[in-house]
Amino acid sequence: MDLATRVSELTPSLTLAIDSKAKALRAEGVDVYSFGAGEPDFDTPDHIKAAAIEALNAGFTKYTPSSGTPELRAAISEKFKRDNGLDYKPSDIIVSNGAKQSCFNAIMAVCGEGDEVIIPAPYWLSYPDMVRLAGAEPVIVQTTQENDWKMTPQQFEEAMSPRTKMVIINSPGNPTGSVYTKEELRALVEVAADEEITILSDEIYESLTYDGAEHVSVASLTPEARDLTITVNGFSKAYAMTGWRLGYLGAPEKIAKAIDSMQSHSTSGPCSFAQKGGLAALTGSQQCVADMREEFNIRREYMFERLSAIHNVTAVKPKGAFYMLANISKLGMTSTNFADRLLSKASVAVVPGIAFGDDRVVRLSYATGLDVIKPGLDRFEDFCKTL
């Protein structure tokens, strides 16, 4: 039996491969320190869990509208106004099974055969494969460490063609931790507006910024930006709700209606009682978010100090998210070879940068405690000294 071309061309996940190797070593009794986590190590706050439990006990276990419950969409609309300066009506908002599905829905709704999507690298590893599944072609723009891993307007223009349909902007970014300034985003919007290119703005890490960096929603910049932009967000990172699978997007009315129709024929609505948890997350105290951000910042400071002290390894101090890229190109190894040997020789798991479109780096997550970060970086440094 032959598989569809769209499936056979997908790239296997290197993050899952590394995670599988780490788990296999742990099963053998090996003490493995892992920096591969893409999720907060905190538990979901109690008031959010309590809302879901109450919903379960009340029998709120049936289908909801495919676009999400009216009360959650209304709360998201208020959140967009309050936090992002965005005017999305509840009908412009689609709640999905995670921000990943929101990204996928947006790409599928806008892009098709023959279209091109511009993606700055290093990128979140799922973007290119989502584009390919839509029948479109990813066009990768290689950013530089010297520019804090951010795409410039000139690079954007040079990558464009008559087939360009969309550009993806992820700020704060995974795996770079980069945060685009308002001025930088405004310059990119001007380029997109000249050719009416749709902007997919993935803002899932918006609450995790440091050193005075300000998260700016692309769609808030100008009315034209609002008309071009699909804004994606979710609950996983800010509220430690990765397993709840709850995300959302705001979009111009025409796009939102198309995505609602498409989702109704794929996954239908998101989990009923998870939406009650999401509602509690948005309307309850935000102190839990501030507390997690403070702890992430402590870990970020420590990891950057340690990595910066290792000979022939460099890093850019991230302004957001909970990842750091270590540039290991001077060590004379590919990122995959480095990650494989680091795991087998030192029992430390990192994600090779080739998974994110840059073979010069490896990604370390500080979404894990200092009890893992400190000894893990000791082993990382000792390993680098042997090369």
pLDDT tens figures, 343-386: 999 999 999 999 999 999 999 999 999 999 999 999 999 999 99
pLDDT of residue 16 exceeding 90, the answer is: no
| pLDDT tens-digit readout, 247-271 | 999 999 999 999 999 999 999 999 9
CA-based angle 377:382:384, to the nearest 5?
A: 95
CA distances from 141 to 38, 121, 160, 328, 378 (A): 23, 6, 10, 20, 34
Q: How far is CA 54 from the centre of its chain?
A: 30
Evaluated on CA atoms 98, 232, 102, 128, the torsion sign reads negative
**Strands 116-121 and 164-170, sheet pairing:** parallel
Tell me 354's DSSP state. G
Angle between helices 14-27 and 335-346 (to 10 degrees): 10
Q: How far apart are CA 49 and CA 52, in angstroms?
A: 5
pLDDT of residue 280 exceeding 80, the answer is: yes
Residue 141, token pair as written in the block: 């723009």
CATH topology classification for 46-283: Aspartate Aminotransferase; domain 2 (3.40.640)
- Whether the CB-CB separation of 190 and 153 falls below 8 Å is answered with yes
Mean pLDDT value across residues 132-156: 97
Q: What pLDDT score was predicted for residue 156? A: 98
Mean pLDDT value across residues 225-243: 97
Task: Give the distance between the most distant pair of CA atoms in the chain.
Answer: 60
Polymer length of the chain: 387
Q: How far apart are CA 273 and CA 266, in angstroms?
A: 20
Q: Where in the chain is the domain with CATH 3.40.640.10?
A: 46-283
> In the beta sheet, which residues pair with residue 70?
none
pLDDT of residue 20 exceeding 90, the answer is: no
Q: What pLDDT score was predicted for residue 314? A: 97
| Average pLDDT, rounded, for the chain | 96
pLDDT of residue 298 exceeding 90, the answer is: yes
What is the CATH number that goes with domain 5-43+287-385? Answer: 3.90.1150.10
Q: Where in the chain is the domain with CATH 3.90.1150.10?
A: 5-43+287-385
Question: Which helix or strand (DSSP H or E) is residue 167 part of?
Answer: strand 164-170
Reported in sequence order, the residue ranges of 261-382 that DSSP labels E, i.e. its strands, are 314-315, 323-327, 348-349, 351-352, 361-365
Amino acid at 238: A
Question: Which helix or strand (DSSP H or E) is residue 233 part of?
Answer: strand 229-234
pLDDT of residue 207 exceeding 80, the answer is: yes
> In the beta sheet, which residues pair with residue 93?
250
pLDDT of residue 3 exceeding 90, the answer is: no
Q: What pLDDT score was predicted for residue 69? A: 98
Please tell me whether residue 126 adopts helix, strand or coil conformation.
helix
Spatial CA neighbour of 323 closest among 354, 364, 352, 355: 364
pLDDT of residue 22 exceeding 90, the answer is: no
Please tell me whether residue 120 adopts helix, strand or coil conformation.
strand
% of the chain with per-residue pLDDT over 70: 100
| SS3 of 6-58 | HHHCCCCCHHHHHHHHHHHHHHCCCCCEECCCCCCCCCCCHHHHHHHHHHHHC
